Amino acid sequence: MSDDRFPGWHGTTILAVRRGGEVVIAGDGQVSLGQTVIKGTARKVRRLGKPGQEVLAGFAGSTADAFTLLERLERKLEAQPGQLARACVDLAKDWRMDKYLRNLEAMLIVSDGMDLYVITGAGDVLEPEHDVAAIGSGGNFALAAARGLMETDLDAEGVARKAMAIAAEICVYTNGALTVERIGGR
């Protein structure tokens, strides 16, 4: 998909793995403009909400757009504590219907430790199969690697780290400078 308004921003791989009662979301640190790496240590995985009601979120796409969406999601979660699915659906509806929001270029992966969703600007709130979800330039590489690694004895973080390392070896828009956040479990 080519859009003249966006000068070829690439450089995100976000992976979520649910296993053993916990969810791990990992994001690489690379941001690229065309063929140039602009930053190698970006933090694309965040914690939202208050302690005890935390939600993990990883984003791909325009940073300003993603922050706008994360702020909106956080407000929805404050208004509907403990109802991640409802907050995600409300955000997706707003994102699709609102004149300003519908132009935002980003995707989100969110989890409260039990539920795991991918949210898109097309109005999708997707619950992934096989307890693995990925978005971004290297998302398909990380997803394939993680799905294969789910057959091993690795814990959620082990699967995420190894799958992200594989994606970084294949995708030129992905690096090994990871931010990894965990929720649930331990």
Catalytic residues: 12
Q: Using CA atoms, how far apart are residues 55 and 50, in angstroms rounded to an integer? A: 9
- Please report how the helices 139-149 and 156-170 are oriented relative to each other, as an axis angle in degrees rounded to 10: 140
Q: Using CA atoms, how far apart are residues 109 and 58, in angstroms rounded to an integer? A: 5
CB 29, CB 175: distance < 8 Å: yes
**Nearest C-alpha neighbor of 69 from the set 54, 90, 53:** 90
Exposed/middle/buried for residue 92 (C-beta within 10 Å: 0-12, 13-18, 19+)? buried
